[in-house]
Amino acid sequence: MAEAATQMKVSDEIAITISKMNKWYGTFHVLRDIDLTVNRGERIVICGPSGSGKSTLIRCINALEEHQQGSIEVDGTLLSSDLKNIDKIRSEVGMCFQHFNLFPHLTILENCTLAPIWVRKTPKKEAEETAMHFLEKVKIPDQAMKYPGQLSGGQQQRVAIARSLCMRPRIMLFDEPTSALDPEMIKEVLDTMIELAEEGMTMLCVTHEMGFARQVANRVIFMDAGQIVEQNEPEAFFNNPQSPRTQLFLSQILGH
Amino acid sequence: MSDTHAHSVAFVRETEIPSSPPPYAATGPVKWLRENLFATPANSLLTIAALYVIWQILSGTMPWILNGIWNTSSLAECRQVLDGAVGACFSVLTERWNQLLFGFQYPSELYWRPTLALGLLFVAAAPVLFFDLPRKLLAFTAVYPFIAFWLIWGGTILTPIVAFAGVAAGAVVYQRLVTGSFAYGFFGGIIAAFIVWTVGGWIIPDGASETAMLTAVPSRDLGGFMLNMMLGVTCVTLSIPIGIALALGRQSSMPLIKVVCVVFIEFVRGVPLITLLFVASVMLAYFFPPESSLDLFLRVVIMITMFSSAYIAEVIRGGLAALPKGQYEAADSLGLDYPQAMRLIILPQALKISIPGIVNIAVGLFKDTTLVSVIGMFDIVGMIRGPILASTEWNGVYWELLGFASVLFFVVCYGISQYSQWLERRLATDHR
């Protein structure tokens, strides 16, 4: 399985640089001295116990959460409080949420074309063609005229991925994309994500799917208490974890 | 476990059971009657008691209604015709029909003008209310307020044209500047509109209204149900966008905007409408220089709009609060800016949730327009209490008149309510 990962190449170009980033919720120190560099084409899986700050970390990257110290640079654009900068970064970075967050008042097709039409100013027809292309890619073009409420969870999450892809992002963030899904549906979403990885998309993925991490990731990051505790290539990470905290975590999630 | 036992217990379905229609006895009117009206002895007893009460009510009112007199010219004459029998004097409605609808001062030869305005109102409202209609019809909706103004008040056509030109100029300037920043567009648009209106005010010659194509009718001559409709339609239309703005302002991260909106909403909600109306009719005159007389109708519209927009703002705030945070985040993560996220994602959903609340306030507002009778405007209630009941011919005809007013209001309010239910069904896309 590790062969698939090594086949996909990683460029030297840097996609994201996070340095000395700190974040507090009120007085609670959620992220502490995060240093992370992501190369283009890299596929990173972030895992850790709940409350360890892994979701917060990737939400900081597209400014859904504000950080108080340190710097985040995405595609050479420094994330500051300037709204223009934030909108620029957001339109370059796609995001998938645990609860899909599709727009329930719009059809699947409208969900996918909305941002290209209004943010990228793409003509409607062209946006619809792009949307159909990506819906075909996630294998649900026949649902295009339905509303999100009529689809299963797995289908909704695949639409959410297609919706992000329609903006032609250079980086994709996944925030526990399979945590709200039935086991049967997890596979269809993971398959979509694997396909995306094989095409060389830069991906940061918070997930508990360790099989996915082994198969796709070229780096696994373990977080606890707001810090990066360990990061390594998946084989080494799973077979030979260094820190006792990582060992405990892995024994608990892989133990049953 | 023996083989035979396993054979009898293990089970594999090989054929699918076809779906079949329900048994006939589960449908039909007899079944319905038995289930709903005579299910238990207590239920039967209640059904019979209810039928008795209905019979009592109908036997009391029906003779009065059916025996009604429609063609006499005074209460005394009506009583004479009835000759002691039970019956309503509906002739007050036929005889004072125009007064009830248009007030007692609106020139009778001009009744066609407000009637035409009402007819056009349906045309103008249709594309807004039923959004499956072609969008081009909205162009008529945009000019309708100015046409209606000209039809009802008459006077020189330059007034509505200048008013329209001001709004159009404001819209154009807004379109141009809004790409830079919303604030530039908003204030630029307002300034442009005011410039056009001021310049237009100089251009319109004095006395143009006397020689106009449509005879001018002053605001104080408006009355009857027409006045209620005008106030209701104008105030609802104005208070929904203002309410939305206030609701969004209240959620704003900018402290100044937030404080202004909170103070406005809390102040207006804390004051009775009737107080605001008295302020409009009496107090405002003290604050303006004597020569500038802001029209009473306009003052009342401003007050009612302020009042209902504060309520609508709170209803919409409820709708905004009901949306999951994920919707805001999804809109943000796609790179939509604030106005786009609000217009395309947040408001369509929040407004849908708020429909029952907004309709509740719209219906209440429409009925509250009868309060203007207290400050001396002759709306339908003002007409009934004043000129009609005070006249020698019809002194004492309460039931027929107030019943008629109730029916008029009921028809409109029930229509609004039915429309809102249709709208909710039409917009139900979430299939929960």
Long-range contacts of A148-151 (CB under 8 A, 24+ apart): A148/A100, A148/A102, A148/A103, A148/A104, A148/A106, A148/A108, A148/A111, A148/B430, A149/A104, A149/B429, A149/B430, A149/B431, A149/B432, A150/B431, A151/A108
Nearest to B326 among A63, A99, A167 (CB): A99
Interface predicted TM-score (ipTM)? 0.89
- For residue B147, the distance in angstroms to the closest alpha carbon of chain A comes to 34
CB interface of B with A, residues 363-422, below 8 Å: none
pTM for this predicted structure: 0.84
Across the interface, whether the CB atoms of B429 and A147 are under 8 A apart is answered: yes
Cα separation, B250 vs B259, whole angstroms: 7
**Rounded Cα gap, residues B276 and B372, in angstroms:** 11
Cβ contacts of A149 on chain B, cutoff 8 Å:
429-432
Euclidean distance between CA atoms A58 and A52, whole angstroms? 12
Q: Which residue, A15, A7, A155, is CA-closest to A93? A: A15
Contacts of B334 in chain A (CB under 8 A): 90-91, 114-115, 119, 163-164, 167
What's residue A1's pLDDT? 41
Distance CA B232, CA A227 (A): 61
- Within an 8 Å CB–CB cutoff, is residue B326 touching chain A? yes
| A97 interaction partners in chain B (CB closer than 8 Å) | 326, 329-330, 333
Q: For testing the chain A interface, which of B334, B343, B351, B352 should be mutated: the one with the most A CBs within 10 Å? A: B334
The confidence score (pLDDT) of residue A4 equals 47
| E strand map for chain A | 14-25, 28-39, 43-47, 69-74, 77-78, 93-96, 171-175, 202-206, 219-224, 227-232
Interface test with A, best of B131, B328, B333, B336 (most A CBs within 10 A): B333
- Which of A92, A99, A105 to substitute to test the interface with B, most B CBs within 10 Å? A105
Q: In angstroms, what separates the C-alpha of A81 from chain B's closest C-alpha?
A: 14
Q: Residue for token digits 């209440």?
A: B364
A159 Cβ contact list (under 8 Å, min separation 6): A100, A102, A108, A111, A112, A135, A138, A140, A143, A148, A151
The 3-state DSSP class for residue A251 equals helix
Rounded Cα gap, residues A135 and A159, in angstroms:
7
Q: Smallest Cα–Cα separation from B118: which of B22, B46, B276, B224?
A: B224
pLDDT tens, N- to C-terminus, chain B (432 residues): 455 555 567 788 888 888 887 776 666 777 788 888 888 899 999 999 999 999 999 998 998 888 888 888 888 888 888 888 888 888 888 888 988 999 888 888 889 999 999 999 999 999 888 888 888 888 899 999 999 999 988 888 888 888 999 999 999 998 888 777 777 888 888 999 999 888 888 887 777 666 777 888 888 888 899 999 999 999 999 999 999 999 999 998 889 999 999 999 999 999 999 998 988 888 777 777 666 667 888 889 999 999 999 999 999 999 999 999 999 999 999 988 888 899 999 999 999 999 999 999 999 999 999 999 998 889 999 999 888 888 888 888 888 899 999 999 999 999 999 999 999 888 887 654
Stretches in chain A below the pLDDT threshold 70: 1-9, 255-256
Q: Which residues contact B117 (CB under 8 A, 6 or more apart)?
A: B147, B148, B151, B152
Interface contact B334-A93, CB threshold 8 A: no
Q: Which residues contact A77 (CB under 8 A, 6 or more apart)?
A: A85, A88, A89, A92
A86, with CB counted inside 10 A (0-12, 13-18, 19+), is buried
Contacts of B336 in chain A (CB under 8 A): 114-115, 118-119
Burial of B212 (0-12, 13-18, 19+ CB in 10 A): middle
**CA dist., res. B300 & res. B371, Å (int):** 10
Looking at beta carbons, which residues of chain A come within 8 Å of B337? 83, 87
The angle, 0 to 180 degrees and rounded to 10, between the axes of the packed helices A153-165 and A124-137 is 130
